[in-house]
Amino acid sequence: MQWFFEFLKSSPYILLFFTVGLSVWLGRVTIKGYGLGMVAGAVIVGAVLSIWASTYGVKLQLDNFVRLLFYYLFMYGVGLRVGPSFINSLGRDSIGFTFLAILAPVLGLTLVVLGVKWADLPVGTAGGILAGSQTMSAAIGSAEQAISDGVVNLPAGMTREAATGMIALSYGITYIWGTVGIILIVKYLPRWWGVDARAAARKYEDEVGVRNVDDAGLSGYRAGGLRAYRLENPQTAGMSIRKFREANPEYRVVNVRRGDQSLGADAELVLQQGDIVALGGRLEVLTDKMGLIGPEVADPKALNVPLDQAEILVTSSDVVGKPLKSFRDADIAGQVQLTKIERSGVPVPMGLETTLKKRDVLYVTGLKPAVQQAGKLFGIIARPSTATDLLTLASGMILGFLIGKIEFPAFGSKVGLGNAGGLLVSGIIVASISSRLRFFGSTPNAARNILEDLGLVVFVAIVGLNAGATLLEQLTGAIALKIFLVGFVACTVPPFIVWAIGYHLLKTNPAVLMGVTAGARSHSGPCREAAKEIDSSVPWMGFPVAYAISGVLLTIFGYFAMLMAH
């Protein structure tokens, strides 16, 4: 095998993507639905390859510039993801969820710092334990940033590489329970508390009228429709479209064909015997008043009406806070169909009582003029570009690095966000502005996912490779056990406190609170499992706000864990 490791050492690009490929493959392996994920897989694969190579006298190592570059791209991508919803999550109507989303990361940080000091663990363990126990891989980078910035005093004989290795090692030891533990806790907390979350979800569904987002898929049902009728009713013939609408407001005339000509649907157009009239409306009204016009016909020319799909960003103060049922009598009713609502990047259940919030994204399909009208009613029509605005990307990265240079005195030294924190803030700023203006800064979801997924897995893989050779020298059974115990406590205790406060003091619906508890750990897996456990999508109602806030806090807390514990 020595020749193989010598080959990898001489071919750093092959080494990098060989490690990344193995990490992704290992991350996909699951046992009863649970797996490591590619990030934890990258730590293990990188460290194992490095240790294995060292037994043949080969030291595998990759350039730190590449490692940091990919991590910085990842941090900027995280900022872009949470940006449109982060500031909005701090609104007064979400103050309870916001409080719980702040409480959980703070408790996790506190328990990690106290545990590391109590167990007298080596430098580096605090950042790794926080990242693993809270399943926030991004905290690995911010913890390492504390070492790079020199705010953590390394003991005599300990190198920066060794401290970084302890971050990766601690992350790997605590990540598995961090993932499985929070899923089990959120899933079964109501049962342990003697609460019937399933009944609470049904009550919430009855009050709000939500439907299950997990059941979304292809369906033959459409709330609205478009049908064509031959005008034979003499009482309707001779009426203008305006008068027809005044007498029958539940219908929308979208096109009239006379002979071989499509005449459109001008309000002053007078209907005549033999016209083919294309009507739009809700499904229930299209099957009512069957003789109002005449028999239904399959007329492709009359029904050849342009349809449109769009994502509408809710910005109008006139619609914010209103339930969906308040738009049943709007002019667009029956002409557009709302297929999905996203809040903070997460689909939320829809019902008649679902209230709109600023920066919600509405996915609509329908008649082209009606979609345009819906855009004017609710806010801004966003037609995502498939191209990435590289100028905005470059400007945002520069802004992030400049923010990272800002420092202020604390803990006896100068402390700042650093490059990673600065890029996170920059991403939030850029995404927030672009979501409001919509004319610059296009970063499609696929491009942002590349920044996040590839950036993080490459960074962690290089951390594992560079640190692996020194891990065997540092790791003992006693240290590993202490790391696991501190991570176990930091993962397990905060959700119980969040649940107790949310249920007893804030009086939050238990089904919604399950989603808040999952979001406060910035992990979608527990919310998904909670929804399956109670057969309802209600947990997703509490998830987005907590998810947006805790994700930012836990990322930054990796830095402060290192600072406070060492």
- Helix H, strand E, coil C: the string for 269-281 is CECCCCCEEEEEE
User: What is the pLDDT tens value at each position of the chain, 566 positions in all?
Assistant: 788 888 888 888 888 888 888 888 887 777 666 566 676 677 778 878 887 888 788 888 787 788 778 878 877 877 776 665 555 555 554 688 889 989 999 999 999 999 999 998 988 899 989 988 988 877 887 888 888 777 788 887 777 777 887 887 888 788 778 877 888 888 889 989 999 988 888 888 776 655 554 444 445 555 567 788 898 888 888 899 888 888 887 777 888 888 888 887 788 889 989 999 888 776 666 767 767 888 888 888 887 777 778 888 887 888 888 888 788 767 676 667 787 887 766 677 777 777 888 777 888 887 777 788 888 888 878 765 555 677 778 888 888 888 877 776 655 555 566 677 778 778 878 877 776 655 555 666 667 677 777 777 787 777 777 766 565 555 667 888 899 999 999 999 999 999 999 999 988 989 889 989 988 887 777 887 788 788 887 887 788 778 878 888 888 898 889 988 87
For the record, the structure tokens of 166 come out as 């302890």
Q: How far apart are CA 166 and CA 121, in angstroms?
A: 10
Indicate whether 360 belongs to any domain. Answer: no
Question: Of 550, 419, 490, nearest to 110 (Cα)?
Answer: 490
For the record, the structure tokens of 230 come out as 């031959």
Residues in the chain: 566
Which residues have C-beta within 8 Å of that of residue 371, sequence separation ≥ 6? 308, 309, 310, 336, 364, 365, 381
Q: Angle 542-546-547 (CA atoms, 0-180°, nearest 5)? A: 105
Check whether residue 140 and residue 277 sit in a common domain.
no
Check whether residue 121 and residue 254 sit in a common domain.
no
* Residue 96: other Cβ atoms inside 10 A: 19
Q: How far apart are CA 79 and CA 204, in angstroms?
A: 33
- What was the pLDDT predicted at 215? 47
Which residues have C-beta within 8 Å of that of residue 317, sequence separation ≥ 6? none
Q: Is the dihedral of CA 367, 368, 372, 373 positive or negative?
A: negative
Residue that has been written with the tokens 């109590």 in this structure: 118
Q: What residues form DSSP beta bridges with 282?
A: 224
Q: How far apart are CA 368 and CA 412, in angstroms?
A: 62
Q: Does residue 310 sit in helix, strand or coil?
A: strand
Question: Of 302, 368, 312, nearest to 335 (Cα)?
Answer: 368
Q: How far apart are CA 201 and CA 236, in angstroms?
A: 48
Q: How far apart are CA 213 and CA 347, in angstroms?
A: 7
Integer-rounded Cα radius of gyration of the chain:
28
- What was the pLDDT predicted at 457? 79
Q: Does residue 118 sit in helix, strand or coil?
A: helix
CB 142 within 8 A of CB 558: yes
Please, is 91 exposed, middle or buried when counting C-beta atoms within 10 Å of its C-beta (0-12, 13-18, 19+)?
middle
- Taking every pair of C-alpha atoms in the chain, what is the biggest distance, in angstroms? 99
Which backbone phi and psi does 281 adopt, to 5 degrees? 170, 180
* Residue 90: other Cβ atoms inside 10 A: 13
Indicate whether 401 belongs to any domain. Answer: no
Check whether residue 166 and residue 19 sit in a common domain.
yes
Report the domain count for the chain. Answer: 2
Indicate whether 285 belongs to any domain. Answer: yes
Residue type (1 letter), 95: I
Question: Of 26, 66, 65, 68, nearest to 43 (Cα)?
Answer: 26
Q: What is the pTM of this model?
A: 0.63
Indicate whether 15 belongs to any domain. Answer: yes
Indicate whether 313 belongs to any domain. Answer: no
Check whether residue 163 and residue 241 sit in a common domain.
no
Check whether residue 190 and residue 42 sit in a common domain.
yes
CB 288 within 8 A of CB 318: no
* Residue 356: other Cβ atoms inside 10 A: 21
Question: Of 329, 312, 331, 330, nearest to 267 (Cα)?
Answer: 331
CB 556 within 8 A of CB 543: no
Check whether residue 148 and residue 264 sit in a common domain.
no
Residue type (1 letter), 359: R
Check whether residue 201 and residue 243 sit in a common domain.
no
Please, is 491 exposed, middle or buried when counting C-beta atoms within 10 Å of its C-beta (0-12, 13-18, 19+)?
buried
Question: Of 139, 492, 467, nearest to 126 (Cα)?
Answer: 139
Check whether residue 12 and residue 156 sit in a common domain.
yes
Check whether residue 190 and residue 254 sit in a common domain.
no
Indicate whether 305 belongs to any domain. Answer: no
Check whether residue 201 and residue 238 sit in a common domain.
no
Q: How far apart are CA 41 and CA 362, in angstroms?
A: 36
Q: Does residue 347 sit in helix, strand or coil?
A: strand
Residue that has been written with the tokens 């703070």 in this structure: 106
- Give CA torsion, residues 205, 208, 209, 215, to 10 deg: -60
Residue at a domain's end among 268, 294, 320: 294
Type and span of the H or E element at 4: helix 2-10
Strands 224-230 and 336-343: unpaired
Indicate whether 344 belongs to any domain. Answer: no
Check whether residue 202 and residue 248 sit in a common domain.
no
Indicate whether 387 belongs to any domain. Answer: no
Residue that has been written with the tokens 């309802």 in this structure: 536
Residue at a domain's end among 243, 274, 294: 294
Task: Find the domain containing 249 and state its range.
Answer: 233-294
Q: What is the CATH number of the domain that holds 279?
A: 3.30.70.1450
Check whether residue 102 and residue 247 sit in a common domain.
no
